[in-house]
Amino acid sequence: MIFFDIDGTLLDHDYAEREAILAFFRTNSSFSFTPQQSIETWKQLSEKYFNKFLANEMSFQEQKRARMIDLFKKVEMNLTAQETDDQFEVYLSLYQKNWKVYPDVVEVLNKLKQRHFPLGVISNGDYQQQVKKLQKIGVETYFDCVITSSEVDAAKPEKSIFLEACSQMNIPPKSSYYIGDRLETDALGSNLAGMTGIWLNRKNSQQSHPEIITISSLKELVNILP
């Protein structure tokens, strides 16, 4: 069986986040950040609070609010709870509007289905949002299961989320593959759980690991699999 990550693997998260936050700042006169400052500021806040969600220190809703509260504090504005939710909904609608699939995804998924590989998803995040992403980019029907950290109360790179996915599909880890865009979180994490972890290095990072198969496009996957 072949499992995939979503953000950075199937869906171009960086593009969607970048376009969304730039549009958000353009329509909000409270901020005077340069485009680069806008992107860097939001990215730092996103990683800070999303990691707290993954560590079970915050709920998904709490980390969304915390991001927006922190952002507006940078311009000395204190938002009410309702204002915070309203502002995040503005950002979220812009983010969703910019969701797009990578050009190599559909072709490869079709080829894998033609070869009768069962396909699944293992993703850190909120189940409903991650399923919505798959639906929006038109690939939901390719997958037999979608496992998220919010469902199983464990997050990549923990072994348990990978093992739970294999258990739900009734397959041994050694018979499954996991493809993701983060070397440590995705490839090494799944590898330690007994799966064959494959690192999708879309950004041509100079990182490497002797035990990890590395590809730069999903198209290379077709020639790697038995």
Q: Which domain holds residue 57?
A: 13-97
What is the pLDDT at residue 32?
87
Mean pLDDT of 123-152: 97
Contact (CB, 8 A) for 168 and 148 = no
The DSSP element (H or E) to which 147 belongs, if any, is strand 145-148
Do 43 and 135 belong to one domain?
Answer: no
What is the pLDDT at residue 54?
85
Mean pLDDT of 5-13: 98
Q: Is the pLDDT of residue 206 over 90?
A: no
- Kindly report the backbone phi and psi dihedral angles of residue 177, in degrees, each rounded to the nearest multiple of 5, phi listed first: -120, 150
For the chain, percent of residues with pLDDT exceeding 70 = 100
* pTM for this predicted structure: 0.93
Over the chain, what is the mean pLDDT? Answer: 95
Q: What is the β-pairing status of strands 145-148 and 177-180?
A: unpaired
Do 84 and 162 belong to one domain?
Answer: no
What is the pLDDT at residue 118?
98
What is the pLDDT at residue 60?
87
**Domain count of the chain?**
2
Do 38 and 125 belong to one domain?
Answer: no
Specify the 3-state DSSP secondary structure of 158.
coil
* N-to-C CA span, the chain: 11
Count Cα neighbours of 189 within 13 Å in the Cβ-side half-sphere: 25
**Residue-level length of the chain:** 226
Do 76 and 19 belong to one domain?
Answer: yes
